[in-house]
C-alpha cells in the first residue's frame, strides 16, 4: 500500500501555504431563532499553484466559508472566529479598508451567477478597466489595451467589440469569462471560485474548466474551487475537502480520495452519482434521508442518522479529526482502511 | 486547532472494535436490526413528523405575533375600531348640543377654550370638541372601510377577469384602468364627488372607491398573470383540472397576498382622502354627523386664534393612518416568501 | 414492462408497440415588438421539425444544452404548449389537435413531473388536496373509503409517511417535494410521464433516491417515461433510448448503451467528452473535444446543419447548405435503430476526416439581432 500512501499526498505539498485557514467558524444569529453554525471549525491550507476543492451538498457551508475568508459576509447577524492567514496576515482581523485593497488585487473571487455579479448598466470593458484603475493605478487609456488582452486570453471572440457590450448582451459562458477576466486583471495570487460552472451547460463548463486549469498552470495562481460536482473535482483539484454540516469530514489528494474514500459520506456521494461510463440498470445506492436529519456536531456525528457505518459512539460524541493538513477524515468507523 | 491533531486515533479505534466484538457476541440482531429499521425508514425519504401541517397563513401569523411593529399598528387600529363602535355611549356630550354657546364671542373669543367638563374646549358653535372627536371616528371608519371594500370588490372583479381571460378582454380592461390611473387620484375623486347633487357620506365613499378600483385591478391582474405562468398552474393544467377551478383555487388565492397588503395600506389612504374631500366641502355637510376631515375643514377660519381646533382631528387622522400603514407593512413583510424560513 | 404488454391489446410480446408518435413537431414562439401595436418580427424556433417515437414501457431520454428546446418538446407532446405544426399520436389519438374538454379528459393518461419541486406545488394546498385534485377532476374520487386507500397507496409508493398528507409543501425538503410531485402525477393513473429535469434541482445524494424511485415505479406500474435532462449521465442511467437535441432538432437517436459506445454525431461526441466523470484516472486520460462558442440563437438558427458553426468536423460542402436528416448509417457497432443527422457520420466514425480548430463565433444572448441597445426579451404569453 505504499503506492497509495504516496499518491494520497497531493502535489505542492512541500511549499509554505499561501492561505492557511484554521478553525474557521461562522455563526448566524437571527432574531428570535437559535444560533446556527453554518461553518463549524474548518481548517485547510492552500499552497501556491495548487487547486484545492471544497465539495459538499447545498447548505454545507461552502459559500459561507469563502465569503468569510473574503470578508464579504453581511455585516450583521453573524459571528466569525478562527483565522485565515494569507501571506502572514490574518484576513479575518484586517480592517475593512485593508481588506478591500487585498480583494481584487491579491485575492479575487468568481461567483456562480455571472449576471448578478456584473453591473448591468456598465459596459464589460469599463468593468474590467475599473479594477485595474483601482488597484494598479493605471489610467483608463493604459488599461484598455490590457483589458482587450485579458478578454482575449479568457477566450472571448472579438474582444475589442465586446468591450462596449453590456452584460445582458453576452451569453452565460461569455459572462463567466468576463468575470474571470476581471478576477485576473491584477494577477491575483489566490482565486476563489464559488461554483463557477454550475449555471452553465456541460460543453461551456468544459471550456471554463479548461481555461481555469490553464490559468493555474500558466500563472501559478492558487485556486480554491467550490463545487458540488465530484466530477469537476476529479478533473481539476489537487486536494479535496469534503464538507458536511459545516465541518470538513474528509480530505485527501484527488487520486487517493477517489480510489480509497474513508468517510462514509464521501463513499455515499460517490455511489449515488450516475456515471456516464457505468452500465445501464445498475442501481444507485443513495445516501438515505436528507440534511434535515442531521444531529448537532456538539454531541454526535452530524451524519450519523444517514450513515451506513454508524456505531454507538457516533451518536454520543463528536468524532475528532484523524490525520493532518493533507489527508485525514473525521469518522469513528471509517470505510476502506487499506492505507 | 485541537481537531487537527492526531491524538484521538486510539480513542476511536477503541469504539469500533468494541462494537464489532459486541456484534460477534450476539448483540448483532438487535443492534443491527434497529439500525437497519432506522435506515430503511430514512431510505425512503427522510423523516416527517406527525404534527399536522402549518399553512403559510398560519406561519405568517406566527411571525407577525412577535413583530412589535405589527403589534403597535394592530393596537392603534383596534383602539380606533372599538372607539368608533362605542363612541356614542361614552361621549360626555351630545354632538349637536351647544353647552358652551354662551361663551362664544365672535369678536374676542370665537372658540371657547378648555374648562372643567370640556377638557378640549368647544368649537366655534360651542359644541364639545372632545365628544365630536370621539363620535367623528365613526364616520371616518365607515367611509374608509366601506370605500376600500367597494374599491377592493371592483378591483378584484376587473383584475380577475383581465388576468383569467386574457387576450383582448385583458387589453380592454387594462387600457381603461390605465386611463383612470393617469388622472391624479384626488382630482378624480374630486370630480366624481362634485358630480353629486347633494354631497353626503355616500358621495365620499363612491368617489374614494372609484379611485381605488384601478389600483387593485392592476395589482391583481399583474399577480394573476405571474401565477398563470407559474409551474404549479401548469401542473394543474397538466392534471386536467378545469379552467375555472384553476382560476379560483390556484391563481386567485395565490395572487391575493399583495392585494390584501395593499388593502390595508389603502385604508389609510382612504381615510386621508376622505378627510381631504370633506375638508374641501365635498363630504357630508350634516353637522350632526361629525367627521374628522369635515372638522378640519371647519377649523380653517380660526387657524390663527385656535390652532388646536385643527390639530386634534389632524392628529387623529395621522395616528389612525399610521396604524393601518404599520399593519400593512408588517403584513407585507410576513407574507413575503423571501423572509420565510 | 410485462404488465403493460398484457394490458394493451395490440402489444407484441417484445414490448415494441408504440405509445407516442410525434411527427414533424414544430413549436415557434412569436417575437413581438412595437409600442402600440404588437407586430410579430420573427420566431423563436424552439422545436423545429422533430420526429419521435416512444414505445410502451420504455424510458426515452432527451438530452441537450440549455435552450435547445427539450422542455418545450416535452410540453408540446403533452399539448401544454400547443404545437405550431405537426402531430402527436398518443395510443391512437392525435393529442395535438384536441382542444378544451376533450383534451382535458385525455390528460389523465399523460402526466408531467417538473424540475422545481417547490414552484410546481401550490403553496396553499395540503398534500392531500394536491393529490385529490386530479382525481376529482377526472371523477376518480367517488367512493370515500377507496379514495382514502388510494391516497395511502400513493404515499407509500413514493416512500412518504401518511402523516405527510396533512402538511403543506413548504414543510418538506427538496427530495420529499419531488416525491409529492411524482405522487401527484401518479394520482390519475397515467400511462406516460414526462419528467422535465426531475432531479436537477436536487442535492447529489437526493438525486439518486429520486432516480431509484422513478425506476421502481416504472417496474411496478409499467409506466412509460420521457425524461428530459441536461445531464447526460443521469439520462444514460435511466433511459432505454436516448435522443440528443441541438437547437430545436434531434441530431442523434440510439439505444442508451450504444450511444455511449458508438457516438456518431460530432455534437454527441463533444457532449460526451465534456461530462465530468468522478474518477481522476478517467479524467486524466480521456480526450476532450472542446467546443468553441455558444449555442446559436434559436430565433436565427444557422443554415444547413445547425451545428456547423461549432462543429470541429465541418466540411466545405453540404454542412452549411443542407440540413441533414436523421438516417441509419453503416458503421461498425451501430444497429439499425441508431439514427444520426450528420452528412459525414461515416467518415467521422472511420476517422477519415479529422477534427480541426474552429474559430469561435460570438453569439448574442436574447432573441434578436441588434446588439447596440438594451433589448427587453419578449413577453411570454401562456394561456390557461
Ligand atoms: N446571511 C445568512 N444568514 C443566515 N443564514 C445563512 C446566511 N447565509 C447562509 N446561511 C446559511 O448557512 C448555511 C450554509 O450556506 P452556504 O451558502 O455556505 O451553503 P453552500 O454550501 O454554499 O450551498 P449551495 O451549494 O447551496 O451554494 C445554509 O444553511 C444557509 O442557510
Ligand atoms: N413561452 C415562451 N415564449 C418565448 N420563447 C420561449 C418560451 N418558452 C421557451 N422559449 C424559448 O424557446 C427555446 C427553448 O426553450 P426550452 O425551455 O424548451 O429549452 P430547454 O432545452 O428546456 O432549456 P433548459 O435546459 O434551460 O430548460 C429557448 O430559446 C427559450 O428561450
Ligand atoms: S453535418 Fe457537418 S457540421 Fe453538421 S455535424 Fe456533421 S460534420 Fe458537423
Ligand atoms: Mg453556495
Ligand atoms: Mg428546460
Q: Tell me, yes or no, if C362 comes closer than 8 A to chain A by beta carbon.
A: yes
Q: How confident is the model at residue C56 (pLDDT cuts 50, 70, 90)?
A: very high
- Mean pLDDT of the C159-185 span: 87
Name the residue with the closest Cα to ligand 1, atom 27.
Answer: A58
Instruction: Round to whole Å and give the CA distance between B98 and B87.
Output: 18
Nearest to B293 by CA among B189, B149, B180: B189
Per-residue DSSP letter, C288: P
Task: Give residue A279's pLDDT.
Answer: 67
Q: How buried is residue A18: exposed, middle or buried, by Cβ count under 10 Å (0-12/13-18/19+)?
A: buried
Instruction: Round to whole Å and give the CA distance between C236 and C62.
Output: 10
Task: Give residue B4's pLDDT.
Answer: 40
Instruction: Round to whole Å and give the CA distance between C222 and C13.
Output: 14
B41 compared with B154, residue with greater pLDDT: B154
Nearest to B306 by CA among B315, B296, B293: B296
Task: Give residue C318's pLDDT.
Answer: 87
Residue B47, classed as helix, strand or coil, is coil
Task: Give residue C362's pLDDT.
Answer: 57
Per-residue DSSP letter, C206: H
Residue C11 has pLDDT above 50, yes or no: no
Task: Give residue B22's pLDDT.
Answer: 39
**E strand or H helix that includes residue B326:** helix B308-335
**CATH code that applies to domain C6-123+186-261:** 3.40.50.300
CA of A143 to the centre of ligand 2 (A): 39
Contacts of B215 (CB under 8 A, 6+ apart): B151, B155, B181, B262, B266
- Mean pLDDT of the B116-138 span: 76
Write the residue in C203, C237, C366 that is nearest to A280 by C-beta.
C237
Percent of chain C with pLDDT over 70: 88
Phi and psi angles of residue A99, each rounded to the nearest 5 degrees, phi first: -65, -40
Whether A181 contacts A156, CB under 8 Å: yes
Contacts of A278 in chain C (CB under 8 A): 237
CA distance A38 to chain B (A): 15
The top-scoring range by mean pLDDT among A225-239, B87-101, C152-166 is A225-239
Instruction: Round to whole Å and give the CA distance between B214 and A132.
Output: 51
Task: Give residue B37's pLDDT.
Answer: 52
Q: How confident is the model at residue C369 (pLDDT cuts 50, 70, 90)?
A: very low
Contacts of B246 in chain C (CB under 8 A): 384
Candidates A320, A326, A337, partner chain B, best to mutate (most B CBs within 10 A): A320
Residue B339 has pLDDT above 70, yes or no: no
Residue A3 has pLDDT above 50, yes or no: no
CA of A193 to the centre of ligand 4 (A): 10
Instruction: Round to whole Å and give the CA distance between C329 and C350.
Output: 12
Query: Cβ separation of C380 and B229 shorter than 8 Å?
Result: yes
Instruction: Round to whole Å and give the CA distance between B259 and C270.
Output: 51
Query: Cβ separation of A277 and C277 shorter than 8 Å?
Result: yes
Residue C8 has pLDDT above 90, yes or no: no
Whether A246 contacts A60, CB under 8 Å: yes
**E strand or H helix that includes residue A84:** strand A78-86
Read off the pLDDT of residues A70-109 as tens digits, 9 standing for 90 and up.
Answer: 988 887 788 899 999 998 889 999 888 888 888 888 899 9
**E strand or H helix that includes residue B17:** helix B9-22
Query: Cβ separation of B46 and C133 shorter than 8 Å?
Result: no
Task: Give residue A252's pLDDT.
Answer: 92
Instruction: Round to whole Å and give the CA distance between B171 and B221.
Output: 11
Instruction: Evaluate: CB of A59 within 6 angstroms of ligand 1.
Output: yes
Q: How confident is the model at residue C39 (pLDDT cuts 50, 70, 90)?
A: confident
- Mean pLDDT of the B112-126 span: 70
Q: Which residue is closest to A30 within chain B, CA to CA? A: B341
Contacts of A261 (CB under 8 A, 6+ apart): A250, A252, A267, A270, A335, A336
Kindly list the structural domains of chain B, giving each domain's residue range(s) and its CATH number in brackets, ordered by start: 2-45 (no CATH), 56-339 (1.10.3720.10)
Read off the pLDDT of residues C246-294 as tens digits, 9 standing for 90 and up.
Answer: 998 999 999 888 888 889 999 999 998 888 888 888 888 888 888 887 7
Residue C208 has pLDDT above 80, yes or no: yes
Task: Give residue B24's pLDDT.
Answer: 38
Q: How confident is the model at residue B204 (pLDDT cuts 50, 70, 90)?
A: confident
Instruction: Round to whole Å and give the CA distance between C82 and C97.
Output: 9
Whether C311 contacts C305, CB under 8 Å: yes
Q: How confident is the model at residue B27 (pLDDT cuts 50, 70, 90)?
A: very low
- Helices then strands, each counted (H, E), chain C: 12, 12
Instruction: Round to whole Å and give the CA distance between C291 and C247.
Output: 15
Task: Give residue B113's pLDDT.
Answer: 67
What is the residue extent of each domain of chain A?
Answer: 107-187
CA distance A300 to chain B (A): 13
Instruction: Round to whole Å and give the CA distance between B204 and B199.
Output: 8
Pocket test for ligand 3, best of C342, C348, C354 (most atoms within 8 A of CB): C342
Read off the pLDDT of residues C218-253 as tens digits, 9 standing for 90 and up.
Answer: 999 999 999 999 888 899 889 999 999 999 899 999
Nearest to C151 by CA among C125, C109, C183: C183
Could you give the angle at the alpha carbon of C168 between the alpha carbons of C163 and C169, nearest 5°? 110
Q: What is the ipTM of this complex?
A: 0.84
A157 compared with C17, residue with greater pLDDT: C17
Task: Give residue C253's pLDDT.
Answer: 93
CA of C69 to the centre of ligand 2 (A): 5
CA distance A98 to chain B (A): 26
Read off the pLDDT of residues A113-142 as tens digits, 9 standing for 90 and up.
Answer: 877 888 888 888 888 888 888 888 888 888
Which CA distances in Å does C121 have to A7, B107, B250, C109, C137? 48, 73, 10, 20, 17
Phi and psi angles of residue C44, each rounded to the nearest 5 degrees, phi first: -90, 115
Q: How confident is the model at residue B109 (pLDDT cuts 50, 70, 90)?
A: low
Instruction: Round to whole Å and give the CA distance between C182 and C194.
Output: 11
Name the residue with the closest Cα to ligand 1, atom 4.
Answer: A28
CB burial of B30-49 (b: ≥16 within 10 Å; e: otherwise) equals: eeeeeeeebbeebbbbbbbe
CB hemisphere CA count around C356 (13 angstroms): 10
- Mean pLDDT of the C191-201 span: 91
Mean pLDDT of chain C: 83
Percent of chain C with pLDDT over 90: 29
Task: Give residue B336's pLDDT.
Answer: 65
Whether B158 contacts B217, CB under 8 Å: yes
B190 compared with C312, residue with greater pLDDT: C312
Q: How confident is the model at residue B176 (pLDDT cuts 50, 70, 90)?
A: confident
Residue A180 has pLDDT above 80, yes or no: yes
Instruction: Round to whole Å and give the CA distance between A150 and A141.
Output: 15
CA of A84 to the centre of ligand 4 (A): 19
Report pTM.
0.81
Number of Cβ within a 10 Å radius of residue C289: 17
Nearest to A298 by CA among A320, A271, A318, A272: A318
Query: Cβ separation of C173 and A290 shorter than 8 Å?
Result: yes
Task: Give residue C37's pLDDT.
Answer: 64
Which CA distances in Å does B28 have to A234, B22, B31, C119? 38, 7, 5, 45
| Binding partners of B (≥3 Cβ pairs within 8 A) | A, C
Task: Give residue B67's pLDDT.
Answer: 83
Q: Collect all residues from A whose CB is shorter than 8 A from any CB in B.
A: 22-23, 32-33, 41, 43, 286, 288-290, 292-293, 305-306, 308, 310-313, 319-325, 328, 330-333
Task: Give residue B328's pLDDT.
Answer: 82
Read off the pLDDT of residues B193-202 as tens digits, 9 standing for 90 and up.
Answer: 777 777 777 8
Which CA distances in Å does C165 have to A191, C123, C130? 48, 14, 9
B291 compared with B239, residue with greater pLDDT: B239
Residue B191, classed as helix, strand or coil, is helix
Q: Tell me, yes or no, if B27 comes closer than 8 A to chain A by beta carbon.
A: no
Task: Give residue B201's pLDDT.
Answer: 76
How large is the angle between the packed helices C174-186 and B28-45, nearest 10 degrees? 70
Whether C247 contacts C306, CB under 8 Å: yes
CA distance A268 to chain C (A): 7
Contacts of C303 (CB under 8 A, 6+ apart): C320, C321, C323
Q: Tell me, yes or no, if C36 comes closer than 8 A to chain B by beta carbon.
A: no
Instruction: Evaluate: CB of C266 within 6 angstroms of ligand 3.
Output: yes
Residue B209 has pLDDT above 80, yes or no: yes
Task: Give residue C223's pLDDT.
Answer: 93
Residue B33 has pLDDT above 70, yes or no: no
B66: left (phi over 0), alpha (psi -120 to 50) or beta: alpha
Residue A280 has pLDDT above 80, yes or no: no
Name the residue with the closest Cα to ligand 2, atom 8.
Answer: C72
| B276-282 contact pairs (CB < 8 A, 24+) | B276/B186, B277/B189, B277/B190, B277/B193, B277/B204, B277/B207, B277/B208, B278/B204, B280/B190, B281/B199, B282/B190, B282/B193, B282/B194, B282/B199, B282/B203, B282/B204, B282/B207
Task: Give residue B81's pLDDT.
Answer: 87
Instruction: Evaluate: CB of A228 within 6 angstroms of ligand 1.
Output: yes
Instruction: Round to whole Å and give the CA distance between C368 and C364.
Output: 8
Question: Would you give the end-to-end CA distance of chain C in angstroms?
Answer: 35
Nearest to B107 by CA among B312, B326, B338, B305: B305
Instruction: Round to whole Å and give the CA distance between B267 and C295.
Output: 52
Which CA distances in Å does A198 have to A96, A209, B191? 30, 11, 58
Residue B165 has pLDDT above 90, yes or no: no
Phi and psi angles of residue C229, each rounded to the nearest 5 degrees, phi first: -160, 160
Phi and psi angles of residue B78, each rounded to the nearest 5 degrees, phi first: -65, -45
Read off the pLDDT of residues C113-132 as tens digits, 9 standing for 90 and up.
Answer: 998 888 899 888 889 989 99
Read off the pLDDT of residues B76-93 as tens digits, 9 standing for 90 and up.
Answer: 889 888 888 887 787 777
Q: How confident is the model at residue C89 (pLDDT cuts 50, 70, 90)?
A: very high
Contacts of B219 (CB under 8 A, 6+ apart): B155, B159, B258, B259, B262
How large is the angle between the packed helices B185-195 and B201-228, nearest 10 degrees? 140
- Mean pLDDT of the C338-362 span: 82
Name the residue with the closest Cα to ligand 2, atom 25.
Answer: C66
Residue B16 has pLDDT above 60, yes or no: no
Residue A180, classed as helix, strand or coil, is helix
> Which of A23-32, B59-68, B105-114, B272-281 is the least confident region?
B105-114
CA of A65 to the centre of ligand 1 (A): 9
Which CA distances in Å does A276 have to B146, B302, C276? 66, 87, 9
A12: left (phi over 0), alpha (psi -120 to 50) or beta: left
Mean pLDDT of chain A: 85
Q: Order the strands of the C59-63 sheet from edge to edge.
A: C110-113, C192-196, C224-229, C59-63, C241-246, C249-255, C339-340, C327-328
CA distance A76 to chain B (A): 16
Mean pLDDT of chain B: 75
Residue C360 has pLDDT above 80, yes or no: no
Amino acid at each position: 500500500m505504499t503506492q497509495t500512501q504516496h499518491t494520497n499526498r497531493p502535489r505542492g505539498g512541500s511549499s509554505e501555504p499561501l492561505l492557511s485557514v484554521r478553525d474557521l467558524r461562522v455563526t448566524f444569529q437571527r432574531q428570535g431563532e437559535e444560533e446556527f453554525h453554518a461553518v463549524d471549525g474548518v481548517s485547510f491550507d492552500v499552497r501556491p499553484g495548487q487547486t484545492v476543492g471544497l465539495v459538499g451538498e447545498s447548505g454545507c457551508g461552502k459559500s459561507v466559508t469563502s465569503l468569510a475568508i473574503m470578508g464579504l459576509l453581511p455585516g450583521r447577524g453573524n459571528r466569525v472566529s478562527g483565522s485565515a492567514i494569507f501571506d502572514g496576515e490574518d484576513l479575518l482581523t484586517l480592517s475593512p479598508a485593508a481588506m478591500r485593497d487585498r480583494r481584487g488585487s491579491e485575492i479575487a473571487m468568481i461567483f456562480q451567477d455571472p449576471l448578478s455579479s456584473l453591473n448591468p448598466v456598465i459596459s464589460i470593458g469599463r468593468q474590467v478597466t475599473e479594477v485595474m484603475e483601482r488597484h494598479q493605478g493605471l489610467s483608463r487609456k493604459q488599461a484598455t489595451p490590457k483589458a482587450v488582452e485579458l478578454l482575449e486570453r479568457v477566450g472571448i471572440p472579438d474582444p475589442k467589440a465586446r468591450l462596449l457590450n453590456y452584460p445582458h448582451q453576452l451569453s452565460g459562458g461569455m459572462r463567466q469569462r468576463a468575470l474571470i477576466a476581471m478576477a485576473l486583471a491584477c494577477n491575483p495570487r489566490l482565486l476563489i471560485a464559488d461554483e463557477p460552472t454550475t449555471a452553465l451547460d456541460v460543453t461551456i463548463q468544459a471550456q471554463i474548466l479548461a481555461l481555469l486549469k490553464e490559468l493555474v498552470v500558466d500563472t501559478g495562481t492558487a485556486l480554491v474551487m467550490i463545487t458540488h460536482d465530484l466530477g469537476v473535482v476529479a478533473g481539476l483539484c489537487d486536494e479535496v475537502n469534503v464538507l458536511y454540516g459545516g465541518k470538513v469530514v474528509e480530505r485527501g489528494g484527488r487520486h487517493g480520495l477517489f480510489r480509497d474514500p474513508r468517510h462514509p459520506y464521501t463513499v455515499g456521494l460517490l455511489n449515488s452519482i450516475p456515471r456516464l461510463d457505468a452500465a445501464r440498470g445498475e442501481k444507485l445506492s443513495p445516501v438515505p434521508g436528507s440534511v434535515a436529519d442531521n444531529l448537532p456536531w456538539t454531541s454526535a456525528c452530524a451524519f450519523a442518522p444517514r450513515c451506513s457505518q454508524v456505531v454507538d459512539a457516533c451518536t454520543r460524541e463528536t468524532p475528532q479529526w484523524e490525520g493532518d493538513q493533507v489527508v485525514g477524515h473525521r469518522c469513528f468507523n471509517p470505510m476502506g482502511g487499506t492505507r | 486547532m485541537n481537531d487537527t491533531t492526531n491524538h484521538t486515533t486510539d480513542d476511536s479505534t477503541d469504539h469500533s472494535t468494541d462494537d464489532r466484538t459486541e456484534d460477534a457476541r450476539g448483540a448483532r440482531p438487535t443492534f443491527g436490526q434497529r439500525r437497519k429499521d432506522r435506515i430503511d425508514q430514512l431510505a425512503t425519504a427522510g423523516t416527517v413528523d406527525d404534527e399536522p401541517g402549518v399553512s403559510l397563513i398560519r406561519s405568517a401569523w406566527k411571525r407577525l405575533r412577535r413583530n412589535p411593529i405589527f403589534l403597535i399598528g394592530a393596537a392603534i387600529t383596534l383602539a380606533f375600531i372599538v372607539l368608533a363602535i362605542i363612541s356614542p355611549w361614552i361621549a360626555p356630550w351630545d354632538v349637536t348640543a351647544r353647552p358652551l354657546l354662551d361663551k362664544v364671542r365672535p369678536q374676542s373669543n370665537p372658540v371657547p377654550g378648555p374648562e372643567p367638563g370640556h377638557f378640549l374646549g368647544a368649537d366655534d358653535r360651542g359644541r364639545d370638541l372632545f365628544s365630536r372627536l370621539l363620535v367623528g371616528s365613526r364616520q371616518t371608519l365607515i367611509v374608509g372601510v366601506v370605500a376600500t371594500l367597494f374599491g377592493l370588490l371592483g378591483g378584484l372583479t376587473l383584475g380577475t377577469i383581465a388576468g383569467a381571460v386574457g387576450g383582448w378582454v385583458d387589453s380592454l380592461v387594462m387600457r381603461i384602468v390605465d386611463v383612470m390611473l393617469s388622472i391624479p387620484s384626488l382630482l378624480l375623486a374630486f370630480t366624481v364627488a362634485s358630480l353629486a347633487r347633494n354631497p353626503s357620506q355616500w358621495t365620499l365613499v363612491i368617489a374614494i372607491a372609484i379611485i381605488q378600483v384601478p389600483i387593485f385591478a392592476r395589482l391583481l391582474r399583474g399577480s394573476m398573470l405571474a401565477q398563470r405562468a407559474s409551474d404549479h398552474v401548469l401542473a394543474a393544467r397538466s392534471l386536467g383540472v378545469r379552467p375555472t377551478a384553476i382560476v379560483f383555487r390556484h391563481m386567485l388565492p395565490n395572487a391575493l397576498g399583495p392585494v390584501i397588503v395593499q388593502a390595508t395600506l389603502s385604508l389609510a389612504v382612504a381615510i386621508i382622502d376622505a378627510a381631504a374631500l370633506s375638508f374641501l366641502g365635498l363630504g357630508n355637510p350634516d353637522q350632526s354627523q361629525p367627521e374628522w376631515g369635515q372638522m378640519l375643514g371647519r377649523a380653517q377660519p380660526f387657524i390663527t386664534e385656535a390652532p388646536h381646533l385643527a390639530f386634534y382631528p389632524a392628529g387623529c387622522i395621522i395616528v389612525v393612518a399610521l396604524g393601518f400603514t404599520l399593519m400593512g407593512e408588517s403584513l407585507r413583510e410576513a407574507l413575503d416568501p423571501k423572509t420565510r424560513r | 414492462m410485462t404488465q403493460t404488454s398484457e394490458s394493451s391489446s395490440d402489444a407484441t410480446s417484445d414490448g415494441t408497440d408504440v405509445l407516442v408518435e410525434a411527427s414533424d413537431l414544430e413549436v415557434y414562439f412569436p417575437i413581438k415588438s412595437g409600442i402600440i401595436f404588437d407586430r410579430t418580427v420573427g420566431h423563436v424556433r424552439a422545436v423545429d421539425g422533430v420526429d419521435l417515437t416512444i414505445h410502451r414501457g420504455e424510458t426515452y431520454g432527451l438530452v441537450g444544452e440549455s435552450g435547445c428546446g427539450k422542455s418545450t418538446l416535452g410540453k408540446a407532446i403533452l399539448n401544454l404548449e400547443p404545437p405550431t405544426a405537426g402531430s402527436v399520436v398518443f395510443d391512437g389519438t392525435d393529442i395535438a389537435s384536441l382542444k378544451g374538454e376533450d383534451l382535458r379528459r385525455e390528460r389523465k393518461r399523460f402526466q408531467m413531473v417538473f424540475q422545481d419541486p417547490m414552484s410546481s406545488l401550490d403553496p396553499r394546498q395540503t398534500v392531500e388536496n394536491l393529490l385529490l385534485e386530479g382525481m376529482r377532476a377526472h371523477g376518480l374520487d367517488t367512493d370515500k373509503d377507496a379514495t382514502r386507500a388510494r391516497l395511502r397507496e400513493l404515499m407509500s409508493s413514493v416512500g412518504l409517511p401518511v402523516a405527510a398528507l396533512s402538511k403543506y409543501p413548504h414543510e418538506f425538503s427538496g427530495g420529499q417535494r419531488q416525491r409529492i410531485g411524482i405522487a401527484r402525477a401518479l394520482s390519475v393513473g397515467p400511462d406516460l410521464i414526462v419528467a422535465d429535469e426531475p432531479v436537477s434541482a436536487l442535492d447529489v445524494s437526493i438525486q439518486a433516491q429520486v432516480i431509484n424511485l422513478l425506476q421502481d415505479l416504472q417496474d411496478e406500474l409499467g409506466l412509460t417515461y420521457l425524461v428530459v435532462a441536461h445531464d447526460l449521465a443521469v439520462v444514460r442511467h435511466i433511459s432505454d433510448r436516448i435522443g440528443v437535441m441541438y437547437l430545436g432538432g434531434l441530431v442523434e437517436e440510439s439505444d442508451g448503451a450504444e450511444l455511449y459506445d458508438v457516438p456518431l454525431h460530432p455534437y454527441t461526441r463533444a457532449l460526451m467528452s465534456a461530462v465530468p466523470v468522478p474518477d481522476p484516472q478517467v479524467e486524466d486520460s480521456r480526450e476532450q473535444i472542446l467546443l468553441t462558442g455558444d449555442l446559436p440563437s434559436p430565433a436565427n438558427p444557422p443554415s444547413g446543419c445547425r451545428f456547423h458553426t461549432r462543429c470541429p468536423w465541418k466540411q466545405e460542402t453540404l454542412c452549411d447548405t443542407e440540413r441533414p436528416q436523421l438516417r441509419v448509417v453503416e458503421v461498425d457497432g451501430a444497429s439499425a435503430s441508431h439514427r444520426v443527422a450528420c452528412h459525414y457520420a461515416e467518415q467521422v466514425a472511420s476517422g477519415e476526416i479529422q477534427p480541426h480548430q474552429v474559430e469561435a463565433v460570438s453569439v448574442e444572448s436574447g432573441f434578436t439581432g441588434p446588439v447596440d441597445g438594451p433589448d427587453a426579451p419578449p413577453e411570454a404569453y401562456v394561456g390557461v
